[in-house]
Structure 1
Amino acid sequence: MNAVRRGLGNAVVQAFLVVIGLVWMTPLAGLFLSSLRSSEDTAKGGWWTAFAAPGQLSFDNYSALLQNAGITRAFWNTVLISVPTTLLVVAVAALAGYAFAWLDFPGRDTVFLVVVALLVVPVQIGLLPVAKLFGQLGLFGTIPGVVLFHVAYGLPFAVFLLRNYFAEMPKEMLEAARMDGGSEWRIFTRLVLPVGRPALASLAIFQFLWVWNDMLVALLFADSSSQPLTVELQSQIRQFGSNIDVLAPGAFLSLIVPVAVFFAFQRHFVQGVMAGSVK
């Protein structure tokens, strides 16, 4: 009897999760079907009408999208902003996290408290001062300027996450490596980084999603030649009725890339977040 109840309970939970998954996937499916329809078909009815008339679905919108110079340039700008930012944040935070966790230097705890305090500083506070600074340095309106801003504001959380994860590693493991003659750099690259792969993957996912979906920073710091996909799509919304054949496939393209990145690293995600978020 207990086994039957347990089986029924598991079946109910699984059915509930399937329903939640279907509800979560409905907007994504609707966006995808809308991206395959012409603006005339979209004006006649909602995306669900495509099930009754599948002949209206085609990849013509995506073919036209690839020939849209503004969209393609914005897509590659997004890649050029998101990928370097993610790599820089993970690399710098890994070095700083290891230093705060296992190296003894004057003022270590005080500096780490300052880093943690920066977590509560909203990004809006730094927009105007940094914009003025970038203007003086010639970085305003450029991709490197957007990358530097994202790196600066992504590091406090990244350092906090990795420091807590690295601090949970067994002290005996590191001491044994030092007794075997391993240098700090060798211990970091050959021991700490492989063990910390779940936390690094989680941080990479967080940072990539934040930067890829950002519009506020790019709207202020990027000009027309360096603006990412979010800003380009926002400019298309002003003519929503006539640009739905551009907006729908562009929005789906902007959505599917971070989703693919998440699923590629999902097996490390939960483990890394849970291990690095508490200490």
Structure 2
Amino acid sequence: MSSVTPKAASFSFSAMRRSPLTILVHVSVLLIVIMWTLPTAGLFISSFRDKDQLALSGWWTSLSASEQNLVARTEDPDQQREMDGKFILEGQLLVADKPTEVMAFGFSSREPNKFLPGETAEMKNGTLTVTEDGHYQMIQEEPFTGSRGKRVFYTAVVPPKFGLDNYREVLTSEGIGRSFINSLTVTIPATVIPILIAAYAAYALSWMKMPGRSLLLAVVVGLLVVPLQMSLIPLLRLYNDIGAVFGVGAKTYLGIWLAHTGFGLPLAIYLLRNYISSLPREIIESAKVDGATDFEIFMRIVLPLSFPALASFGIFQFLWVWNDLLVATVFLGTGEEHMVLTARLRELLGSRGGNWEILTASAFVSIAVPLLVFFTLQRYLVRGLLAGSVK
């Protein structure tokens, strides 16, 4: 006879019935993780690639050789030699760590790959021959003149190349250190100030009786959907008018601190209020019975217990302010003295988007500090976000 009890059999059957749903959930989570991780992995790989290869092919081809249109110059005219009444320039187009094979060549930028390796290209004053291994020979009946060699265009197979050149270019750029300090100067106060204000407001909306408390909470929720771009210019004009009265300049750190505080307060108050209102009522009432004031209850009981919510909002606010470019440009401008890191990295591209390949390295340089903050406080993130969702 079977020794399986009815209860165990029922549990086993229930587990088997739920297993397809469990598998589906796991597969869905895995797909979401891959969809979010794959672009970041591609950006990370691209940040180490050679800038010429990065401009021509995607990161998924980074481990395979690629064809590139290149240009090189022959030896200087003073290296020419004369043989049988003709003047010859010879040399090698390929270098050890670059192309491995010439696919085509030409002497004009209009037709850079007109001839195949080994063919003789008829030029205006002579001939040009390039072999598959990159050896070239240019022959003229008259001596070569000029201070530089002639240009030779060629298409070659280039092996994959990785290095730290992109990071070196970003980190050694002029002003990058000052911009890093400016970003910290903007981000740290712009994260701490709204947390301090919102914590007091959240406690008041949760445990202090006042007329219009529900209306105030509704206003806070409504402010969550106000686009930043809609209020940015009015806020700047208001700050300039007030600054003109009190003699405060427009391009100061105080202005951007107040701006980020205003933009971050609605979410901060809403998030902290949900957490603080979910704290056990018995703790608050016991403290009041013992004669504690609201300030003492807030400082000694509520604030220490609310650290997960404070850390959650701190992560979001730090990430938003650190990665901000629009508010920093409006309130601080693009002067060298106050330029933040995101503005500095944008300036590296130039006005026409040159050197765009360094964006890959710039992205990982700029996220180094936010990643450090996130991994330091991430254990509090979920606890703070889910606070107040269930009771």
TM-score calculated relative to the size of structure 1: 0.85
- Give the Å deviation of 1:15: 3.5
One of 194, 197, 201 as aligned partner of 1:92: 197
**1:21–1:107: structure 2 CA closer, same or farther, 3 Å change rule?**
closer
**1:276–1:215: structure 2 CA closer, same or farther, 3 Å change rule?**
farther
Q: Which residue of 1 aligns with 2:37?
A: 25
- Secondary structure of 1:37's counterpart equals coil
**1:56–1:157: structure 2 CA closer, same or farther, 3 Å change rule?**
same
- Using CA pairs under 8 Å that are at least 6 residues apart, name the structure with larger relative contact order, 1 or 2: 1
1:85 maps to a residue whose letter is A
Q: Which residue of 1 aligns with 2:311?
A: 201
Q: Which residue of 1 aligns with 2:377?
A: 265
Q: Which residue of 1 aligns with 2:227?
A: 122
One of 27, 46, 70 as aligned partner of 2:58: 46
> What are the within-5 Å matches in structure 2 for residues 206-221 of structure 1?
206-221=316-331
Q: Which residue of 2 aligns with 1:253?
A: 365
- Could you list the per-position Cα deviations for residues 24-65 of structure 1 after superposition, in whole angstroms to 9, with x for gaps in the alignment? 111111111121123223124222233347962222322332
Separation of aligned partners in 1, 2:60 and 2:181:
32
Structure richer in helix, relative to its length: 1
Gaps of 5+ in 1: none
**1:179–1:7: structure 2 CA closer, same or farther, 3 Å change rule?**
same
Amino-acid identity (%): 43
- Give the Å deviation of 1:260: 4.2
Q: Which residue of 2 aligns with 1:144?
A: 254
Whose Rg is larger? 2
Preserved CA contact (<8 Å) 1:82 1:212 = yes
One of 344, 354, 357 as aligned partner of 1:244: 357
Query: Are 2:275 and 1:165 equivalent residues in the alignment?
Result: yes
- Between 135-144 and 27-36, report the one with greater CA deviation: 135-144
Q: Which residue of 2 aligns with 1:134?
A: 239
> What are the within-5 Å matches in structure 2 for residues 219-230 of structure 1?
219-224=329-334, 225-230=337-342
- Could you list the per-position Cα deviations for residues 98-128 of structure 1 after superposition, in whole angstroms to 9, with x for gaps in the alignment? 1222223455445444444433433334322
Structure richer in strand, relative to its length: 2
Separation of aligned partners in 2, 1:278 and 1:116:
19
- Give the Å deviation of 1:148: 1.1
- Secondary structure of 2:49's counterpart equals coil
- Give the Å deviation of 1:174: 0.8
- Between 178-187 and 195-204, report the one with greater CA deviation: 178-187
- Could you list the per-position Cα deviations for residues 117-153 of structure 1 after superposition, in whole angstroms to 9, with x for gaps in the alignment? 4334333343223323433423422222111101012
Separation of aligned partners in 1, 2:308 and 2:389:
12
2:200 maps to a residue whose letter is L
Query: Are 2:172 and 1:67 equivalent residues in the alignment?
Result: yes
Separation of aligned partners in 2, 1:201 and 1:71:
29
Preserved CA contact (<8 Å) 1:161 1:277 = no
- Between 126-135 and 105-114, report the one with greater CA deviation: 105-114
